[in-house]
Structure 1
Amino acid sequence: MLKKSFAVFGLGRFGGTIVKEFNDMGIEIDKDEAKVNEYMNYATHAVCVNAIDETTLNLLGARNDDHTFVSFGDAIQSRILTSLLLKEIGVRKVSAKVENENHSKVLEKIAVDRFNQQERATKKLDHYSLSDLDVRANYGCTIVGIQLQGTIIISPPEEVIYKGDILIVIGHNKDIMRFEEKGVV
């Protein structure tokens, strides 16, 4: 079986978590050299890039990645533009961090495949482990991390969720919304 390749644009808390999750399976890209250096041991390639444009994406070989995550911090415009360029050059799957409903609508219009959101755990999720919830099978989305007091834990199945924990969820918008509504199987 061929090993899938991943690219992560933006190495904040969310992007850094993704790089660790897919350890040694992809490329990491950020404009902050210190962040690139911090995560370089988790990726096959680490690149510091000041501007994202079609030429840069082609030079990086972005179209060859199986899945690309776009997670620039508070830069909604950069996430939208980078996601659009990635789709235009033929990247198979693009996931982007979502800030709000309007941002989600724009990403849907440009055919971004998956959406990443942070959700606060509700009482319905309190004291359930990730394996108890089996979110991927039951809702079609995945909890890739849990933020506890500023530290992100990459989702081990035995990790127990408590009310107020921040969950980092990836999936299609409709699946994440279904998970938000029902919360527990």
Structure 2
Amino acid sequence: MSARDAERSGIVVIGLGRFGSHLADSLIRQHHQVLAIDRDAAPVQRWSDQLDRVVQADATQEGVLRQLGLADMERAVVAIGDSVEASVLTVLALVELGVPQIWARATSNKHAKILSSVGAHHVIFPEQETGERVAHLIVSKMLDFVEFGDDFAIAKVLAPPSMTGRPLGELRPADRYGVRVVGVKLPNERYRYATDATVPVAGSMLIVEGSIDGVQRFAALS
């Protein structure tokens, strides 16, 4: 690792729309150093009291970003959603500065391909990902759901009545339903890892992993 890489720190969030502002706020609450940038004065003023450093600047200009110290930042998130051109030019400027990790928000598949081709290391679709997650929650009994691609998901479900009062080793959810119970929260207790000796009771929360269809079927058990 070079001396410069060792000195890198902090995260920059560029674009303070709904996604960018909430992302910056979440990072701050996780005790990360965050520099937030937007080209418009209104969002900068709105978030100036809530975020550590908020700057009004044109992030498409490499020289401007260099003056703000972005060449020493470890990670950058381009959260711009209202201008494809601005998001692409911002990614290009970050690439020229040598930022090691560049995350960029895409609004379409074509936009995503352009961002990747100019140097974005990670492309995200927050609206699409959130919509798919909410859709799964609406049409099932799952309380939370995360899809990882390749037909694999982790979900939080209320323990079905047929799964209570007996140890998981006896119930054999992997063999019977194709899912693995990896965590359990008994009423009035904290989450813990599940073992074959774990006995879910009424009101228990289970963390299960498996195929998307598998976790949905398991959540639907009565």
TM-score, with length taken from structure 2? 0.55
- Separation in 2, partners of 1:8, 1:53: 15
Which residue among 11, 25, 32 is the counterpart of 1:20?
A: 25
2:139 is aligned with 1:129: no
Q: Which deviations, in whole Å up to 9, do the C-alpha atoms of 1:160-183 show, x marking residues without a partner?
A: xxxxxxxxxxxxxxxxxxxxx958
Q: Which deviations, in whole Å up to 9, do the C-alpha atoms of 1:6-61 show, x marking residues without a partner?
A: 11111011111111111162101011112112222343211111463111011011
Question: Measured at CA, do residues 136 and 183 of structure 1 come closer, stay the same or move farther in structure 2, by a change above 3 Å?
Answer: same
Residue type at the aligned position of 2:10 = S
Does the 8 Å CA contact 2:91/2:120 hold for their aligned counterparts? Answer: yes
Paired residue total: 142
Does the 8 Å CA contact 2:14/2:38 hold for their aligned counterparts? Answer: yes
Does the 8 Å CA contact 1:124/1:184 hold for their aligned counterparts? Answer: no
Which residue among 75, 97, 101 is the counterpart of 2:105?
A: 97
* Structure 2 portions without partners, runs of 5+: 1-6, 153-210, 216-222
Identical residues among aligned pairs (%): 24
Does the 8 Å CA contact 1:19/1:28 hold for their aligned counterparts? Answer: yes
Residue type at the aligned position of 1:59 = Q
Does the 8 Å CA contact 2:10/2:74 hold for their aligned counterparts? Answer: yes
Q: Which deviations, in whole Å up to 9, do the C-alpha atoms of 1:100-143 show, x marking residues without a partner?
A: 1111111111221112211223643434334xx35579989xxx
- Separation in 2, partners of 1:184, 1:4: 41
2:54 is aligned with 1:46: yes
- Separation in 2, partners of 1:20, 1:112: 23
* Structure 1 portions without partners, runs of 5+: 141-180
| 2:83 aligned residue | 75
Which residue among 72, 78, 81 is the counterpart of 1:64?
A: 72
Question: Measured at CA, do residues 28 and 51 of structure 1 come closer, stay the same or move farther in structure 2, by a change above 3 Å?
Answer: closer
Does the 8 Å CA contact 2:11/2:76 hold for their aligned counterparts? Answer: yes
Larger Rg: 2
Residue aligned with 1:18, SS:
helix
